[in-house]
Structure 1
Amino acid sequence: MSPFEPVDRETARRLAEDELDKPVYHRDRPSFVDDVLDQIKEWVKKILPDAPEAGPGSGGGSFTLVVLLLLAVVLVAAVWWWMRGRGNVKSRKALLEDVPSRSVDHRAAAEAHAAEGRWAEAIRERLRAVARDLEERAILDPRPGRTAQELAAEAAALLPVDFAPGVGVFYDVWYGDRPGTPEGYRLLTDLDQAVQDARPRPLEAV
């Protein structure tokens, strides 16, 4: 382009941007890290107005210590929250709530859900009926927090019943994001009936 050739507005804007992008214009601009530290500094000043300013002879080491302590607190809180969440995974998967209930009530609730086409809820309530029935008949000891998988393992060791299909449907629906279906609910009703009809194996066979 000739230095005497007219320049339109768009070309002038592009040339100006190209010029301003040159490193020489950004040598004194704070880095991203500096920006973050400045923001942390301002935050600390708001919550700790007496904290010393960072800088030569101004107690910068104390400010750094305050920042490190705050970061440590945040880290400990994050770890505690994560561990607490992991510890609650089992409780979230507990089949029965820690409140008194009867197997007959769970069966009635299951039938009500099924009548409304709420198959996922019906499946859960029917398996809860199975769990409560086993406790009412003293086949299993009442134990808050028992999961469906634990129920199947403990009960299958005492009863000649195949728990796998029904419990598998329950896990697929409640933890595998699969829809409940009439066929799945029928597997749970079959399991419930089989458990009611079964008698514990003789002790010597356990």
Structure 2
Amino acid sequence: MLIHPWDAPRDDAEWQRWLGAHDFGQLAVNGLPGEPPYVQPLHFAYDAERGEAVGHLARPNPLWPALEANPDVVLSVVDDYVYVPGPWQAPPEGPSEHGVPTSFYAAVQLRCTAHAVDDPAEKANLLNRQLGHFQPEGGSARAAAGEAPYGRMMSGIRGLRLEVTGVRAKFKYAGKRSEEVQDRIAAALAERSGPHDAAAREHLLRRRGA
């Protein structure tokens, strides 16, 4: 992923806040020899203090042998994306039809060392961390090894702990454009009011002058 200086996060807190609210991504795992990479959709809970993300997958998932052969993986999250028509980006001094269309998006890629979790007590702890993230209001029983309601189901899954070893983050929202062009794009996003337009506009305005 190419990251220009004007698209880079201002600090770690920027991408960490965004990732905390975007907890569904794709886990890329190197394939076994002769096989293409595996790409697994994944709900995960990111813990900035521990420097890790946690999730779980079904025990029969075919990516496990590849993950155990090479635990170096990438967890990729992309959201708040929109298509930007060319005229929106046209320089003020030129014809609108000369504007270049582009995409706006936020993206975080976590390079991780993956660890499978099979110990029943450790797996229960990992599941409870996920429940705490996704259901902070409660409403579900806690997982405990050998206890209802989840104890009998736990043998059918493996926990996944992703130890973060590197981060690449990008917020591509007209960072190199003039304020006049940024104002035009922000107004156009508000008028179009399509999927993700409000989120993209918020990023553009928030990052102005970053």
Same fold (TM over 0.5): no
Q: Which has the higher helix share?
A: 1
Specify which structure has the higher proportion of strand. 2
Larger radius of gyration between Structure 1 and Structure 2: 1
Q: TM-score, normalised by structure 1?
A: 0.19
- Which structure has more relative contact order (CA 8 Å, sep 6+)? It is 2
TM-score between the two structures when normalised by the length of structure 2: 0.19
